[in-house]
Chains A and B, each alone.
Chain A
Amino acid sequence: MSEIKLLKTIKELPPDDKYEFAPGHRLCAGCAIPILVKITLKVIPDPKVIVNATGCLEVATTIYPYTSWNVPWVHNAFENAAATASGIEAAFKIFEKKYGKKKPHIIVFAGDGGTFDIGIQALSGALERGHDFVYICYDNNAYMNTGIQRSSATPRGARTTTSPAGEVIPGKPERSKDLIAIAVAHGIEYAATANPAYPIDLANKLIKADAVEGPAVIHYFSPCPTGWYFDPSLSIKIAKLAVETGVWPLYEVENGKYKINSPSLKYLKSPKPLEEYLKLQGRFKHLLKPENKWMLDLYKQDIEYQWTLLKRLTGIG
């Protein structure tokens, strides 16, 4: 990892004077993706190239003949953002070697569908080959762009249009995947979770991810008012509650070493009750009914499982 300077306060974030991500995009009110994009473009220095998988961010920012992007931006298809980025990175690397041309920072944005499901193979291949890019998964817990279908990132019990809250099966019956563990299994130098309610933590993780030579993965919690059924003004509150209740641990893995970050450490001993997080979202409403307690219990076990693993890996608790 090269020399880096981390931020201490939000005031140290560079001003948004370059409009690299221009206003006027069509992402929903309350969507947490623009927060991620703006912070990413602010902290990762120029020159840079964005690769975007098919998904909410792609469709809402490049409706021809308009574009929100004042940086080079490439969309190829749904499942191949990591492969496309591999090709771009390889080309710039050889240009640097052959012609001394400066290699840009390569940043990939993909949703959970494009990462956990259809794009997992391309991502795994790219991580194994060690291409130098920052891969950011904005995880809104389902296929939101196509209308809220379950993905392998959807939490257990959540209601989606393909895992409805039925009389027999109340929500998604399966647990979600552990993306960071999958990424770390490739022996990459840096992987971390992030959350829009903690912008300094997010910014510093992006800086660290960008500094490694090789691939780095950021898994970003992205509240979705449209798909989670909550008032758009509550996005950051829900994001914060996800950390405070332990649903979304903030942690990072540097060269295989796991570290729980301070926002999550604060709630390690006494997390807020999960119900505080659930009750604000329509997608979990059915889990609070007594007859669906069994599903809620399974979801709680999933969260417990993740924490057991994290505690063991970090040597805490």
Chain B
Amino acid sequence: MKVVKMKRIGLTGDSAVAFAAKQANVDVISAYPITPQTIIVEVLSEFVHNGELDAAFIPVESEHSALSAAVGASLAGARVFTATASQGLALMYEILYIAASLRAPIVMALGNRAFSAPINIHCSHDDAYAARDTGWIQLFSENPQEAYDLTLQAFKIAEDKRVLLPTIVNLDGFIVTHCFEGLDVFEDDEVPNFLPPREPVYQIDPDNPITYGPLAFFDYYMEIKRQQAEAIKNSYPVIKEVLNEFSKFSGRTYTPIKTYGMEDAEVAIVVLGSTAGTARYVAKELRKEGKKVGVVSLVVYRPFPVDELVDILKSVKVAAVLDRSYSFGSPGGQLYMDISAALYNESERPLLFNVIYGLGGRDMTISNLKSIFEKALEYAEKGKIEKKELWVGVRE
């Protein structure tokens, strides 16, 4: 087996993403500074200004323009990267739908940060959730190594001619964006073996003029949306294929869903992002005491891996679904609603409760996670959920 040349270097999550974008040899970067993502665009602009990366860096005047320019460049056939967080994502909102509908395979890093007000720069998943219906593929990393790896995989997924959808790589604000650790990165010349240059299917070409972004009314709009619905559903097998290929290439295993202890777990925590690691640690400790607990974390959040998740969860008695956000006025947090909907028609399914945690960067501690597992075990014992919504680590 061919050994891929790698080296170990120290990087933060943000600089790992920038490094991956550089190795992906992006043509156009269009971005606006916002904490905690700013380092990504700082590092990329350094690469461009130092001549290490032959790309256009468009220092736009807002996130709305960042994504608008990214759409233009992507339609022109460029490999395009942008990054944002929180309010920036909110300002892009209108164009998120357009980028996906125009099938522009942009890759965006999202340094997950809470929405205002009050203004806060730390981690919540408000921004990722706000983009959940927009037609973008979404991947979640839980450490800088994954942020690097998933950024490279995101380009391959987004640009695949069977997919052609923009893709978000989520990394928890500060917890991952600013976490400095040793990473195994590929030597530059290895990367094209996994990720060759983009080969656009359609592009702005004066020799073959196309009208991009026309008006379509009730006579055609619905068919276009139906096709788009199929497109993101059909991306799932391609995502699995890319994750598999990357696993072989790198020697680091990637699957759409990560599980721990789920072979025999009676209760489970379902979670996104960096908390998964802590949850696995706590589960490991509890399993030493003979408690049958497990952890399920999603690497692929959109398209939502319904069938596989159902298979994993159906045999547990109780699942605690963790949301680092709140969907005001809804039946529960965003992931909780997804999982409830995924399981509803199953004859065999767990009882669910929703945990709201970590808003605006509030620490998610080992003892918090322990108490959640214990609550789940208690509900499993009683055979019922006494409190469907639990806020942890909050003064109330």
Contact = CB atoms under 8 A, between A and B. Distances in A.
Give the one of A59, A62, A76, A124 with max B CB within 10 A: A76
A200 B252 CA distance: 66
A256 interface: no
Interface stretch (A66-74, A201-209, A247-255, A273-281): A66-74
B215 A87 contact: no
A198 interface: no
Contact of A80 (B59, B80, B95): B95
Given A72-B204, A74-B75, A87 B58 contact: yes
Contacts of B69: 83-84, 86-87, 90
Contact of B72 (A59, A64, A86, A128): A86
B71 to A, nearest CB: 5
Nearest to B72: A87
* Best-surrounded residue of A67, A87, A90 (most CB of chain B within 10 A): A87
Contacts, number: 154
Interface residues of A, number: 47
Nearest to A48: B206
B209 A69 contact: yes
Given A76-B98, A94-B54, A121-B61, A87 B70 contact: yes
Interface residues of B, number: 44
B95 A125 contact: no
A136 interface: no
B72 A76 contact: yes
B57 to A, nearest CB: 8
Contact of B209 (A71, A98, A124): A71
Nearest to B61: A125
Given A86-B60, A122-B64, A104 B206 contact: yes
A213 to B, nearest CB: 16
Contacts of A90: 28, 30, 56, 58, 69, 73, 78
B368 interface: no
Interface of B: 27-28, 30, 54-56, 58-62, 64-66, 68-78, 80, 94-95, 98, 102, 204-207, 209-217, 220
B215 A88 contact: no
Contacts of A48: 206
B56 A91 contact: yes
Nearest to A94: B56
Contacts of A76: 68, 71-72, 95, 98, 102, 213
Contacts of A63: 214-217
B189 to A, nearest CB: 17
Nearest to A63: B215
Contact of B62 (A91, A121, A128): A121
